[in-house]
Structure 1
Amino acid sequence: MIEDTELREVFKTASEEHLQKLDEGFLYLEKYPHDLTKLEELLREIHSLKGDAAMLGIKDVSQLAHQLEHLLGEITRGKQIISPETSDRLSLGLDAIYKLVQEAVTGEPSGINTVHVLAILMGANNIKTSLQDQDKIHLKSEKTIAISTSVKEQKVAKNTSSPNTQQPEEVAKINESSFTKTEPDENTLTSETPDISSSYHIETVRVSTRNLDFLMTQTGELNVTQIRLFHRLAEIEKITNLWEEWSRDILKNCFLVSGLNVNDHTTINNSTQQFQNYYLQTEERLENLGLLINNLRNSIHEDIAKLDLISRNIGTGVRTLRMLPLSTIFNIFPRVVRDLARQEGKEVKLIIEGGESKADKRIIEQMKDPLIHLIRNAIDHGIETPTERKKSGKNSVATIKLRAENTASQVIIEVIDDGRGLDIEKIKQTAVKQKICSQTELASMTQTEIQSMIFTPGFSTKKFVTEISGRGIGLDVVKANVEELKGNIHIESQLGKGCLIRVILSTSIATINVLIVAVANIYYALPIECVKTTLLVSIESIFTIEGRDTIIFDNEPVSVFPLSDLLNFSAIERDEINEIQENNCIIIQIGNEKLGLFVDDLIDVQNVMLKPQSKLLKRVINVSGATILGTGDVCMILNPQDLMKSAKKLSTSIFSSKFVQQLKVEKVNKKSLILLVEDSIATRTQEKRILENAGYEVITAVDGIDALNKLKIRSFDAVISDIQMPNMDGLTLTTKIRENQNYAELPIILVTSLASHEDKQKGAEVGASAYITKDSFNQEVLLETLKRLV
């Protein structure tokens, strides 16, 4: 019996299909013995079955399959003809394989004498006698095999007595001995007839993925219909409220009429009576209408609750049918790693974790090649030779870990190696050499952004092409495949310690959970997996770093943009902004990168059907697909990765300039006093001239200590400081200033050549109001920032 549960199930499913096709094919060949196409097809089936059995160590099945393959080959080459005797041999061999497969799957003894069957397949004499002997051996098994999805007649021995002379009890004994007794009575069981009334059952059904895709689509449509019913229910609630309001008015008027004192006027009394009768009739009709409305409302409530339960169960069921364990592809990697490592002269151990994690069938199919390429890349680029590893104090045997895990709605796949890691400097040099980016752009990039450049088309730090990874396929293809599956990929690495590449995918690609937002009265959806949080942001809490609007979130600076700007809504004007207004902001996160998006309103969180774009719109910037909401409106599902890229292309936010314009920040006659702290005389002179030309009064200081001394004797409107200075640097100066409560609101702008993400974060942590790098220094940016803060 196959010990591994998963492999046992895989072999069972695969062998069912092979055996069914072989069984049908052998019957077909009896009628059409010269059909070479069918013979070739049967050769492929028996060859696949032989290979599967050999891989799992089922030698008996492998041997019999090999002999059947040989016999079919002889027929194909014309050295053997399909005679009744040949057909008997083929059938006998197939029957024996059926029994042996069942033994491997269930552990029940088959009673098959493999040597005996092989002798028959190889042309032993007295085939009929041998067949009868073999049938007796078959009866020793506890139960005739019933392979899933193959409906095969079972041979059941029958008593030699006439059926008319048997009592029901005797028939029962015969059936029992045929299926349950270990040693049947051969004196009473000598002939055989097929029993088609028992042992026929189908355990599994093979379904075309196209049919599953159709069901999944219909499940999504069912969800949309359910949402539409919720809207209808809301309309009924409005009708109910209207009815209640109308009923109150009628009742109030009825009381007013009945209270009129008109005893002195007969005409009015008659009119009053008529009015009272009318109101009574109206009240009765309203009451009946109210009963109908309430019954309708309650019924729809119940129907929606039932529909919700049914649609969720159907959706879960269909998604489960498409879900496969990642071990389906993980199991092929040990051999891949072994062969590649030997080819490269390296020693590599592969560790697989989380193979039981599941994902949609299409995801598993499309991730096979990207994962193979990531492993190839790790062995070729990342893993050192045993000699190199020993010199660096590592174990000579490298480790590659392939790990997967499921979250509530995602599957995370990681490829981790303990090799040399990524060399940031080499990546920078290659990026500049290949004109992927400039030195100025590199200066403002985070470490993660620089490492992610290995996914750029054509990027490679190797000076020569190898057999393993130099096949014209770069890591950009891996990224493209992941993005096609609506996932994201990011990298973490430490030089000399190793590298981790993490792929995050939704377990289902048919439906997606989204946050629906409104921008200029148009609805858009953001995948909920990328939404870190939502918050209200006041205008006064926004400051500028390098011309970008920024807020502090989780103690680090995060750039913020109106979503309308990223979507190029240039013709749409935003509502008037004021200092106390709070704006809806969505913080999205991909890997370690965060971005804030201002929207007009937050609408709802829904599970929607993701509809792919047409071929004419196969790739639209910032858009990954569309869905239809319960209202019938089409809603675009935005691509968070594209939004990140679009934000990086904007040098400044229109939101900021509008804020400045609407607050009407204008020059006043009184000159603002600026303290300029800079140790470089050339930079100090240039910045002083810029500030004075803009109408500011400037006092200079050569370092942080000099600046603190001048702060004690004068009151300044703002401080502009370098960071790297002797005696006291700019970060320490900022900290000292903020320690004094009198300077808690004093604007401090850091102008420095330190452009890393970590440096900017330090600046925000110590209390800087804005951060401008010298590499991208622009006097308009400095003046606009100062104008806004002072």
Structure 2
Amino acid sequence: MMIDDPEFRELFQIDSAEHIQNIESGILELEKDPANSEILKTIFREAHSMKGAAGLLGLKEIESITHVLEDQLGKLTKGYTRYQPEDADRIYYALDMLKLLVEEAVTGKKVNVDLAKTIAILHGHESLTKPQAAPPSEHKEVAVKESAAHDQVPQERTSSAVKETSEPRPVQNVPQAPVKKQEAVKFKIDTMRVDPVKLDSLLSYSGELTVSKNRIQKRASEIFDLLFQVEDQNKQWSDKKKIFLSLEKLAKQAGAPPSFLENIRSLYADEKRKWDSLVQRLSALKVKSIQDSAKLDLIASKIEEGIQNVRLLPLSSVFDIFPRTVRDMSRELGKEVYLTLEGGNVTADKLVIEELKDPLMHLLRNSLDHGIETRQEREKEQKPNPARIRIEGKQINNAIWLEIEDDGAGLNTEKIKQRAIQKELYSSETLDTFTETEIHEIIFHPGFSTKDQVTNVSGRGVGMDVVKTFVEKFKGNITIDSGLGIGTKFTLKLPINFSTNHVLIIHSQGWKYGIPTEYIEQSLFIRPEEIQNIDGKLVISWGDEPTRLISLRDYLPVSFEKGIQNKGNGSLSCIVLRHNGERLAVIVDSIIDKQEILLKPFGGILESVPKLAGTTILESGEICYMVQVPELLNEVRGKQILSNLSIESSQPKMVRNILIAEDSLITRVQIQKILEEHGYHVTTAIDGQEAFEKFQRGNFSLILTDVEMPRKDGIQLVRDIRSLTSGKEIPIVVLTSLGSEEQVARGKDAGANSYLIKSQFDQTVLLHTVERLLA
């Protein structure tokens, strides 16, 4: 029978799943402590609540089963009967049948449930011939994806109590008839219970955000208009001031009447008032814009935090699935295993919880089938029984850590190497150069398995690949800590926030790329003479060991250049990457800035673009491609390929000395840093007079000067330098905010070689100009 009302269908699905899960968890606890009366009372209440909900909705079959279940639990609670180990199997069987009936009530899909048989089993009138496994629908949910990826037919695990045959038959005597493949049901959470207070808070912040955004837009428009006027005044005010003073002086010398002098002063004062008014308005609006911007940032961050909190779910949402699975699987494998779950109250994003079930299931299967030994093997090795598997979730800084640890046999590196050679993944010579960590990571290779035979549990080589894909999808990483005969621990580290990414923006071949900062260990400049060639690989010395060096342009799918390349004067921009203990130095054209971006993953035909995870649009409107660091490291590993990076002669280059004259501290330091990072030696002066004195004492290859400076302005500095160097042409670059044609002409007449406007300042243009003039 299907529930008619869609809303009640959804509510009953959530409510019944919670009741069944709580009863299953309670039975597992009861198996450890049969005398625990509090657990019995809890289970009894859950069965009673589910019976009431089913009766209200007219679900007679569910009501009948839960009624009998309630009676049996009631007898145990009141002490009329004593708990027996076989009671757990009977209750689990009833719960499996309830899951099927709930599915029918929600979806309308007819299921085969023998009501009389289920009630007879609960009463103990009919015995179970073997430990109960999950019914087909439950098995579909937990089934691994290997069955869909291979042509082999999965063996159906069917409980003898669910078979419709009149007399039981051993499973091994049933002929292997072709079975239609069924796709694994993806674990998905369709509904979330959200605290209404959080939603009200988000709604309030959203309203404030809209108001602040409108205010800032208005302020920006006003400031934009004023900037044009101020810029015009900036270009003309200095000259007007000199003209007014000259007119007043000439008028006095010519004996002009007082009224004429007064008119000149009035005209000068009027111009000064206009200028002061514009400056005051601009300053006031600047302050208001800063305040509004700060308010907007605060509200935006609160909204982001609030939305993340709404999406958070406890890890127990997925952890609670595993105790029953481990119990059934360990019995099937003939092993004794005790599962410990820790950190179920740690919260993670809903998307992670939905995707987490399959990777954890594969890791559990790996531990149960590959890691945990049989009872006889453990007794021979003098290891305790039952074996232990621990799953723990914890939050460390801005990441979720998931640890899956067992005390089994550990990873056999020699067996992994032999199978890798057998599958022609690597040659024996290459494997000899691998570290133990790199050998362990071979198990993540698609199709890799150390099992000789494919079983219902493992052997297809898909499981660990699923784990790796999951971790890389969420920009995390996975590490393996294993000791032969001691056990294995897998640690998954996943970032908490998936909506935005902190990346370092770099240039390569004129294109902009982003590298996630969690993979970056250091950014630095290296000299060509620091690069060595060892066994056909370029390396640099970093820390206590040589680090492999590549040029990023050799490994990216974009093969053509765009725009002007920014090349330093003898130094190379380098980023040291680190992932899962592996380090790689990467040469890039230039390092631009660190930004927080919103990643847009590739879709459609671009989904399989190698070594790129997606794109983002920068504030400048340019497209930035995101580098997939783990995939890049994987391609570089083990390859003896010389980079196309041209190694220049190790002969020391002549150091170029540059003199900067600039009265603005911020501008002076910024230009000095840019030039020094590209191999130039820089001397600074705070005005034209100091610059001229230092020029007379030093030997400079290029001069870079501002115009408006105290004591001596830039134009006079250019004239003075040219008067001293009539036989030697030293390049001079004028950098100023005065961009009128008249000012540019004055600078060139004085002897400047180039004129750069501060409002149009660009690092690439500055460096290109310096390199051109020094060539």
2:363 equivalent to 1:374: yes
1:518 is matched with which residue?
Answer: 507
1:423 to 402, 412, 435: 412
2:395 aligns with one of 406, 412, 419: 406
**In 1, are the aligned partners of 2:359 and 2:467 still within 8 Å (CA)?**
yes
Task: Find the aligned partners of 2:213 and 2:641 in 1 and give their Cα distance.
Answer: 39
Partner AA of 2:295 in structure 1: K
Task: State the Cα distance separating 1:388 from its structure 2 match.
Answer: 1.6
1:534 partner amino acid: S
Assess, with a 3 A threshold, how the Cα gap between structure 1 residues 353 and 523 changes in structure 2: closer, same or farther: same
Residues 212 and 626 of structure 1: is their aligned pair in 2 closer, same or farther, counting only changes over 3 Å?
Answer: farther
Instruction: Tell me how far apart the structure 2 counterparts of residues 318 and 473 of structure 1 sit (CA, whole Å).
Output: 35
Change (3 A) 1:628 1:35: closer
User: What CA distance in whole angstroms lies between the structure 2 residues aligned with 1:611 and 1:641?
Assistant: 18
Give the aligned partner of residue 786 of structure 1.
none
Please name the residue that 1:559 is paired with: 548
Q: 1:51 aligned to 7, 20, 28, which one?
A: 20
Of residues 560, 572, 577, the one that matches 1:588 is 577
Q: CA deviation at 1:457?
A: 1.5
Shift of residue 474 of structure 1? 3.0
Paired position in structure 2 for 1:92: none
Q: What letter matches 1:66 in structure 2? A: K
Structure 2: distance between partners of 1:305 and 1:658: 48
Which deviates more, 319-328 or 388-397? 388-397
Classify the secondary structure of the residue corresponding to 1:624.
strand
Aligned-residue offset at 1:356: 2.9
2:294 pairs, out of 305, 310, 313, with 305
1:455-470 equivalence runs, <5 A: 455-470=444-459
Please name the residue that 1:362 is paired with.
351
Task: Pick the aligned partner of 1:616 from 579, 600, 605.
Answer: 605
Q: Show the counterpart of 2:478.
A: 489
1:542 matches 2:531 = yes
Gapped regions of structure 2 (runs ≥ 5): 25-40, 65-191, 654-775
Query: 1:532 corresponds to which letter in structure 2?
Result: E
Quick one: which amino acid aligns to residue 477 of structure 1?
A: V
Higher relative contact order (CA 8 A, sep 6+): 1
Aligned counterparts of 2:465 and 2:253: Cα–Cα separation in 1? 97
User: 1:385 and 2:357 equivalent?
Assistant: no
Structure 1: distance between partners of 2:552 and 2:5: 64
Is the CA contact 2:205–2:299 (under 8 Å) kept in the aligned structure 1? no
In 2, the alpha carbon distance for the partners of 1:410 and 1:461 equals 32
Note the C-alpha offset of 1:601: 3.1
| Residues 1:214 and 1:43: Cα distance change in structure 2 (over 3 Å) | closer
- AA aligned opposite 1:633: E
Alignment partner of 1:397 is 2:382: no
Q: In structure 2, give the amino acid aligned to 1:332.
A: I
Residue 433 and residue 303 in structure 1: after superposition, are their counterparts in 2 closer, same or farther (change >3 A)?
same
Structure 1 residue 549, shift from structure 2 partner? 1.8
Aligned length: 508
Q: Which amino acid aligns with 1:467?
A: N
The alpha-carbon deviation at position 338 of structure 1 amounts to 2.5
Letter in 1 for 2:555: L
Partners of 1:348 and 1:400 within 8 A in 2: yes
Secondary structure of the 1:657 match is: coil
Q: 1:216·1:319 contact (CA, 8 Å) conserved in 2?
A: no
- Assess if the C-alpha contact under 8 Å between 1:223 and 1:311 holds in 2: no
Q: Give the drift of 1:456.
A: 1.2
Q: Tell me how far apart the structure 2 counterparts of residues 479 and 215 of structure 1 sit (CA, whole Å).
A: 41
Would you say the 8 A contact 2:212–2:295 is kept in 1? no
Amino acid paired to 1:513: H
Match of 1:708 in 2: none
User: Counterpart in 2 of 1:709?
Assistant: none
In the other structure, the counterpart of 1:631 is 620
Instruction: Give the structure 2 partner of residue 477 of structure 1.
Output: 466
CA shift at 1:630, angstroms? 2.3
Q: Is the 8 A contact 1:226 1:304 kept in 2?
A: no
Give the residue type in structure 2 aligned to 1:394: K
The alpha carbon displacement at 1:552 in A equals: 1.9
> 1:440-498: CA deviations, max 9, x gaps?
33233332222111111111111122222246733112212222223232323222222
**What SS class does the counterpart of residue 378 from structure 1 fall into?**
helix
Instruction: Indicate the residue corresponding to 1:69 in structure 2.
Output: 54
Q: Which amino acid aligns with 2:20?
A: G
Give the partner amino acid of 1:384: E
Q: 1:216 deviation in Å?
A: 14
TM-score of the superposition, structure 2-length normalised? 0.57
Looking at structure 2, the residues matched to 204 and 34 of structure 1 have their Cα atoms a distance apart, in angstroms, of: 22
Asked if structure 2 preserves the Cα contact closer than 8 Å seen for 1:227 and 1:630, the reply is: no
Give 1:279 shift: 3.0
The change in CA–CA distance for 1:243 and 1:495 in structure 2 (over 3 A counts) is farther
**TM-score scaled by length of structure 1:** 0.56
**Using the alignment, how far apart are the partners of 1:39 and 1:320 within structure 2?**
27
Q: Any conservation in 2 of the 1:50–1:66 contact (CA below 8 Å)?
A: no
In 2, Cα distance between the equivalents of 1:558 and 1:215? 52
The residue type equivalent to 1:401 in the other structure is R
Matched, 1:445 2:430: no
Identify the residue that residue 494 of structure 2 maps to in structure 1: 505
Change (3 A) 1:305 1:284: same
Distance 1:60 1:418, change over 3 A: closer
> Partners in 2 of 1:620 and 1:214 — Cα distance?
39
The answer (yes or no) to whether the contact 2:504–2:514 under 8 Å persists in 1 is: yes
Deviation readout 1:581-632 (Å, 9 max, x if unpaired): 3333211111110111222333332222122223231121121122222223
| 1:39–1:76 Cα contact (<8 Å) kept | no
Q: Give the 3-state SS of the residue equivalent to 2:554 in structure 1.
A: helix
Q: Which moved more, 1:338-347 or 1:379-388?
A: 338-347
Picking from 284, 289, 308, the partner of 2:273 is 284
- Quick one: which of 293, 298, 314 aligns to 2:303? 314
CA pair 400-234 structure 1, distance change in 2 beyond 3 A: farther
Kindly state the Cα deviation for residue 379 of structure 1 after the two structures are TM-superposed.
0.8
The more displaced of 252-261 and 558-567 is: 252-261
1:562 and 1:41, CA in 2 relative to 1: closer, same or farther beyond 3 A? closer
What residue in structure 1 maps to residue 587 of structure 2? 598
CA deviations on 1:289-326 (whole Å, 9 max, x unpaired) are 11221122111111111111111111111111112222
In structure 2, the CA distance between the partners of 1:584 and 1:443, relative to structure 1 (3 Å rule), is: same
Larger radius of gyration: 1
Q: Report the CA distance between 1:361 and its aligned residue.
A: 0.7
Asked if residue 659 in structure 1 is aligned to residue 628 in structure 2, the reply is: no
Matched-pair contact (CA < 8 Å) for 1:47–1:69: no
Question: How far apart are residue 401 of structure 1 and its match?
Answer: 2.0
Q: State the secondary structure of the residue aligned to 1:465.
A: coil
> Does 1:331 pair with 2:320?
yes
C-alpha separation between the residues in 2 aligned to 1:599 and 1:59?
Answer: 66
Report the aligned-residue RMSD: 4.8
Extract unaligned runs of 5+ from structure 1: 1-32, 80-202, 665-790
Equivalent residues of 1:517, 1:599 under 8 A apart: yes
Structure 2 counterpart SS, 1:419: coil
| Preserved CA contact (<8 Å) 1:357 1:406 | yes
Deviates more, 1:436-445 or 1:43-52: 43-52
- Helix, strand or coil: the match of 2:454? coil
**Relative to 1, partners in 2 of residues 1:573 and 1:39: Cα closer, same or farther, differing over 3 Å?**
closer
Q: Are the equivalent residues in 1 in contact too, given 2:371–2:487 (CA < 8 A)?
A: yes
The correspondence of residues 686-701 of structure 1 with structure 2, limited to 5 A, is none
SS at match of 1:659: coil
1:476 and 1:642 map into 2 onto residues whose CA distance is 13
Where does residue 738 of structure 2 map in the other structure? none
Instruction: Output the amino acid matched with 1:51.
Output: I
Tell me, in whole angstroms, the C-alpha distance in 2 between the residues paired with 1:37 and 1:578.
Answer: 65
**How big is the shift at 1:436?**
1.6
2:280 aligned counterpart, secondary structure: helix
Taking a change above 3 Å as real, the CA distance of residues 44 and 531 of structure 1, as seen in their structure-2 partners, is closer
Q: Give percent identity, aligned residues only.
A: 32
Distance 2:382 2:567 in 1: 61
Q: Which residue of 1 aligns with 2:185?
A: none
What is the deviation of 1:226?
13
Distance in 1 (alpha carbons) for counterparts of 2:215 and 2:313: 28
1:257 is paired with a residue of what secondary structure?
Answer: helix
For 1:257 and 1:657, how far apart are their aligned partners in 2?
61
